[in-house]
Amino acid sequence: MVGLLWQWDIRGSAHGLLSAHPISPFVSIHHVEVVEPIYPGMSSLESLKLFTKAMKVDLMSFLQRSICYDHARRLTFSVSLGYAIQVFPGIVLPRVLERSEMTFSAWNKIHNLNEFDLDTRDPSKSVCKSPVLFFLEDVERQGNTTLGTYVRAGRLKDDLKRKVLCFPRSAPLPYVGRIQALGYPLKNWHLVSSLCIFFLFSASSALIFKLFLTS
């Protein structure tokens, strides 16, 4: 973090930073050669191309975070626009989700909560409390709105673990393979955390969970 701008110098997985991005404009990535690919299943180059595309499509809200709750299904959604959507079982408070998960280490290879000038937390040790992850697959502009499609990651391995260890509870949204997020223009980036999300579950064969975001 530099003033009201944001950049990183880290090693390992950037997931913890990208999924809980500070409410400030994104500036740059340093030393990408020691950072894991941003999106699973892609090479570093492919990831950077998609990352850049998402940034260009909606620069104002790129990587900004929104947290909302589906009380009917008892789910918590943490959205990092242009990167990923995390779906947590149960209700997780904002004060927890606003802290960056320590999936990374400092440039000097020290993995310590006190090494960073930001609020961090250790990753959950329980698979039953861990979120299901949906990573950006594609993003496009539709008039004055942005449509992002996020695809479920690690489905078979993750669901098998949950079936064994979390019985009788199932993984969040067990039959959903993709989430679409439709975002409207933001007028003030510093107010992005106040975004509202309205849910509409599609029971079609595509099994897409749709989020509607507005400022």
Stretch 68-97: mean pLDDT: 90
25-39, 107-121, 151-165: least confident range: 107-121
Domain count, the chain: 1
pLDDT category at 136 given cuts 50, 70, 90 is very high
For the ranges 69-73, 157-161, 210-214, the one whose mean pLDDT is highest: 69-73
Instruction: Report if residue 1 sits inside a domain.
Output: no
pLDDT category at 194 given cuts 50, 70, 90 is very low
Contacts of 209 (CB under 8 A, 6+ apart): 173, 176, 178, 179, 180, 199, 201, 202
The predicted pLDDT at position 117 comes to 66
Instruction: Report if residue 37 sits inside a domain.
Output: yes
Instruction: Give the DSSP letter string of 101-147.
Output: E--EEETTS---GGGSSS-EEPPPS-TTTSPEEEEEEEEEEETTEEE
Instruction: Report if residue 125 sits inside a domain.
Output: yes
β-bridge mates for residue 141, sequence order: 146
Instruction: Report if residue 113 sits inside a domain.
Output: yes
The predicted pLDDT at position 187 comes to 58
Instruction: Report if residue 187 sits inside a domain.
Output: yes
The predicted pLDDT at position 92 comes to 92
Instruction: Report if residue 38 sits inside a domain.
Output: yes
If one compares 3 and 85, the residue with the highest pLDDT of the two is 85
Instruction: Report if residue 96 sits inside a domain.
Output: yes
Contacts of 77 (CB under 8 A, 6+ apart): 66, 67, 68, 69, 70, 85, 86, 87, 88, 197, 211
**Domain interval for residue 173:** 6-214
Instruction: Report if residue 202 sits inside a domain.
Output: yes
